[in-house]
Amino acid sequence: MVKDPGKAAIRISLAVSVLMLAGKLTAYFLTHSTAILGDALESVVHGAATGLAAFAYWYAAKPADVEHTYGHGRFAYFSAGFEGALVLAAALAVMASGIRGLLYGPDLKHVGAGLAITGALALINLALGIFLIRVGRKQKAMILIANGKHVLSDVWTTAAAVIGLTLVLIFRVDLLDPIAALVISVFIMVGGV
C-alpha cells in the first residue's frame, strides 16, 4: 500500500515528464516540425513546473513551526501561480517558433514517424492528466489538480501538432505545420490563464 498517494503521483508525473520531453525532442529531430518543437517547448515548461510542484507538495505538507504558525500550505498557491506563468512563457516561445516557420518555411522530414511518436505520447499524457486530477481531488491537493490540468492542456497542444501534421500529409502543404504551432500557442496561453 502506498503511504502517500500524492507523493507517488508527483513522482509518476516527474518520470512521465522526462519521457514526454525525450519523446517530443526525438519526434522534432526526426521531423523538423515547428508544431512538434512548440509541443516540446511546452514539455520543457511542464518538466520545470512538475519539479516545482513536487517541491511545493513536499514543502506545503511540512507542519507548522515558529515562523509559519499556520503551516506551509500557502506555498501551494505560489506553486500553482508560478506554473501558470511558466505556461504563458511557453506560449510566447511557441508563437515565436510558429511565426519563424511561416517566415522561413518548414523543412519537414519523416512526418509519419513523428506522428506515431507524438500520438502515442498524447495518449500517455491523457492517462496521466486524468490520474493526477483524480488523486488531487481525493487528497484535496491543489498542486496535483493544477499539475493534472497542465498535463491535460499538454494533450491539447500535442493533438494540435498531430492534426497539423496529419493535414500536411493529406494536403501536402508544409505551411500548415507552423500554422499548427500558432494554434498550439493559443491552446497553451488559454491553459495558463
Which CATH number covers residue 70? 1.20.1510.10
pLDDT at residue 51, rounded to an integer: 80
Q: What is the pLDDT of residue 75?
A: 65
The predicted pLDDT at position 96 comes to: 92
Q: Which residues of 76-92 are buried (b: 16+ CB within 10 A; e: fewer)?
A: beebbebbbebbeebbe
Does residue 184 contact residue 176 with C-beta atoms inside 8 Å? no
Cell 483524480, located at residue? 134
Look at the chain and report how many structural domains it folds into. Answer: 1
Tens digit of pLDDT per residue, the chain (193 long)? 568 888 899 889 989 989 999 999 999 999 999 999 988 988 888 788 778 777 776 776 677 666 765 555 666 666 667 777 777 888 898 899 899 999 998 889 999 999 999 999 999 999 999 999 999 999 988 888 988 988 898 898 899 999 999 999 999 999 999 999 999 888 778 766 6
Residue 155 lies in domain: 5-192
Element (H, E) at 41: helix 34-60
CB-based contacts of 62: which residues, under 8 Å, 6+ apart?
68, 71, 72
